Chain A
Amino acid sequence: MNPATANHLDLTAPPVVKKISQRSLVVGVIFSVAAVAGIFAFPNGRDQFYRAYLLGFMAWLGVALGSMAILMIRHLTGGGWGMVIRRILGAAMRTLPLLALLFVPIILGMKTLYVWARPLDAIADKHLREHLEDITKTYLTTNGFFVRAVIYFAIWNLLSFLLSMWSKQTDHGGAPDNTQRFKAVAGPGLILYGFTISFAAIDWVMSLDPSWISTIFGLVILIGEVLSAMCFAVVVERILFNYKPMSEMLKPDFVHDHGKWMLAFTMVWAYFNFSQWLIIWAGNLPSEITFYLNRLSGGWGSIGLVLAVFHFAVPFAILLSRPFKRDIRKLVWLAVWLLLMRYVDLFWIIEPNFSKTLSLTWADVVVPIAIGGFWLAYFFRNLGALPLLPAYDPSAGEVLEPAHE
């Protein structure tokens, strides 16, 4: 018998999901209008818009792709922690078609964003021009950029499609046991994700400064994405925790595990960033060190310090506490904080490519919120479309059985 009906638990998402979806859409529309108005209101509004757009796009793409990665980890490891947020991760993953659509403005703004996409004659720096003449014939070509983006989105959407399709089957009685299918896709899927996000990070972010190379950069972006996704899942589970069925399903043990993931991802984020910094600092080569020189001068250094302290040190110290990790009401605040830090981190990676001194433009705030409004509207629509737990999945019982205490 289905354990859900045995517990008389209705697994459909609460109506608040629909309300948040509608409000997000309103926020998305209002901020889009403001963003478009900004393009015309400011002297270099167009430039500012595209930079901020890339920032916002990378931030929200991170939540979707990170969710897919965590979902695949769960399919490989099992565990109640993953079952209880499975549909949250799934709904975030199923926003990937929207993100593919949202990538179009980056194609349109390519010449504004990327120095290598513009005519090379205009570049004053002789060394950079010679370097670009070489690389724009082979890798960084306009067509290559476009074709590779199509490939990334095709792979991500295919993975998302398969995982969602098999998950939906387990909502109804008589469903096949898809555990092995999930495993067969999740293993190679995680490897594919590692490769595609590395290439995407190089294409979309690292190539903003085409003379700079860092081999760990893809992983820096990757770990930021999974951290964003875990924090986002914690925030959504907190909202749902006010209502049935999440109030019955979410136990302190699961929240504890989510807190442990946040701690692990925060540490790995610091580890990757420090590795990149240490190697470049020790080598001190002109072609590499410019990345940090640009980001530690002109006021940008203060942002770097904020990241070291508030993206790593303070969250790390707080997350060591066991009672803190077990209490969703406390953990959610750190999750919100870390999501904000994710924005600051991407801001610190992207913006210094365009501005020598620290500057936060109107667009940097408005455009990511505009994208977020549409993204959240779609996410909460997805979340409401399916029950919050695939009741006929073999591991659903772990979540539905009553707590020990």
Chain B
Amino acid sequence: MKRDPIYGIMAEFDSAQALIDAAKLTHEAGYKKIDAYSPFPIEGLAEEVGFHHDEVPLVVLIGGIIGGLTGYAMQYWMSAVDYPLNIGGKPPHSWPSFIIITFEMTILFAGISAVFGMLALNGLPMPYHPVFNVPRFALASKDRFFLIVFSSDKKYNPAETRRFLESLAPRSVSEVPS
């Protein structure tokens, strides 16, 4: 597969508010494949870059259900099938005593699903990312705010997109090589 030599165009801003406003205008201008980078989480920014559907809860729910079923099935097999023991005269398949482990396994699987689901959906770990080809991008971990329009966007046009980003009064605009 042939890769586009240009990953996108990136604009640098001074404040969180400037980034939110720029993201909003860019999204409204019709650019759909955009992303934003900031040194700290900014409330409302995800919505402005067009990110609405968080799929982690669904992954957690599925993980939790699988965990619960696994926990119950495991205990059923151990206590009622493989090695039945008479405990306090209770039947080998005594559901009340299975509930705690079932609950714990639900929480364990849900928790693990949350972590790995989040990593998978974010595409992590990612040893190489083109945005770091811009030297100034190192400031995104410090005190600068970045907005990128990806070259894969339908509306992307090297000259026009650059002109548009410059109209948002950024501190700098750079092309990101992939």
Is A354 interfacial (CB-CB < 8 Å)? no
- Docked pose: A320 CA to B64 CA in angstroms: 13
- Docked pose: A281 CA to B90 CA in angstroms: 10
B96 to chain A, nearest CB (A): 5
Bits for B61-76, please: 1 = Cβ < 8 Å to A, else 0: 1000000000000000
Q: Are B61 and A320 in contact (CB under 8 A)?
A: yes
Interface residues of B in 124-155 (CB under 8 A from A): none
- Docked pose: A404 CA to B24 CA in angstroms: 14
Residues of B close to A281: CB separation below 8 A: 96
- Docked pose: A277 CA to B96 CA in angstroms: 9
Q: Are B44 and A278 in contact (CB under 8 A)?
A: no
Residues of B close to A277: CB separation below 8 A: 96
Interface residues of A in 270-327 (CB under 8 A from B): 274, 277-278, 281-282, 284, 320, 322
Q: Within the complex, which residue of A282, A320, A404 is in contact with B96, where a contact is CB–CB below 8 Å? A: A282
Residues of B close to A274: CB separation below 8 A: 99
Residues of A close to B99: CB separation below 8 A: 274, 278
Residues of B close to A284: CB separation below 8 A: 88
Interface residues on A, range: under 10
Please indicate which of the listed interface residues A282, A320, A322 has the most CB atoms of chain B within 10 Å of its own CB.
Answer: A282
- Residue of B whose beta carbon sits closest to that of A271: B103
- Docked pose: A314 CA to B61 CA in angstroms: 16
Is B57 interfacial (CB-CB < 8 Å)? yes
- Residue of A whose beta carbon sits closest to that of B54: A322
Q: Are A282 and B44 in contact (CB under 8 A)?
A: no
Interface of A is mostly: helix
B86 to chain A, nearest CB (A): 14
Is B121 interfacial (CB-CB < 8 Å)? no
- Docked pose: A282 CA to B100 CA in angstroms: 13
A268 to chain B, nearest CB (A): 13
Whether A278 touches B61, Cβ cut-off 8 Å, given contacts A284-B88, A404-B44, is no
Residues of A close to B167: CB separation below 8 A: none
Interface residues of A in 329-386 (CB under 8 A from B): none
Q: Are B57 and A322 in contact (CB under 8 A)?
A: yes
Residues of A close to B100: CB separation below 8 A: 278
Q: Are B96 and A278 in contact (CB under 8 A)?
A: yes
B67 to chain A, nearest CB (A): 15
Residues of B close to A320: CB separation below 8 A: 61
Is B122 interfacial (CB-CB < 8 Å)? no
Q: Are A282 and B61 in contact (CB under 8 A)?
A: no
Bits for A252-267, please: 1 = Cβ < 8 Å to B, else 0: 0000000000000000
A292 to chain B, nearest CB (A): 11
- Docked pose: A284 CA to B99 CA in angstroms: 17
Q: Are B97 and A278 in contact (CB under 8 A)?
A: yes
Bits for B84-99, please: 1 = Cβ < 8 Å to A, else 0: 0000100000001101
Interface residues of A in 55-83 (CB under 8 A from B): none
Interface residues of B in 18-45 (CB under 8 A from A): 43-44
Please report B residues at the A interface, Cβ cutoff 8 Å: 43-44, 57, 61, 88, 96-97, 99-100
Please report A residues at the B interface, Cβ cutoff 8 Å: 274, 277-278, 281-282, 284, 320, 322, 404
For the complex of A and B, list the 4 residue pairs with the smallest distance between their C-beta atoms, beginning with the closest.
Answer: A281-B96, A278-B96, A404-B44, A284-B88
Q: What are 15 of the A-B contact pairs (CB < 8 Å)? A: A274-B99, A277-B96, A278-B96, A278-B97, A278-B99, A278-B100, A281-B96, A282-B88, A282-B96, A282-B97, A284-B88, A320-B61, A322-B57, A404-B43, A404-B44
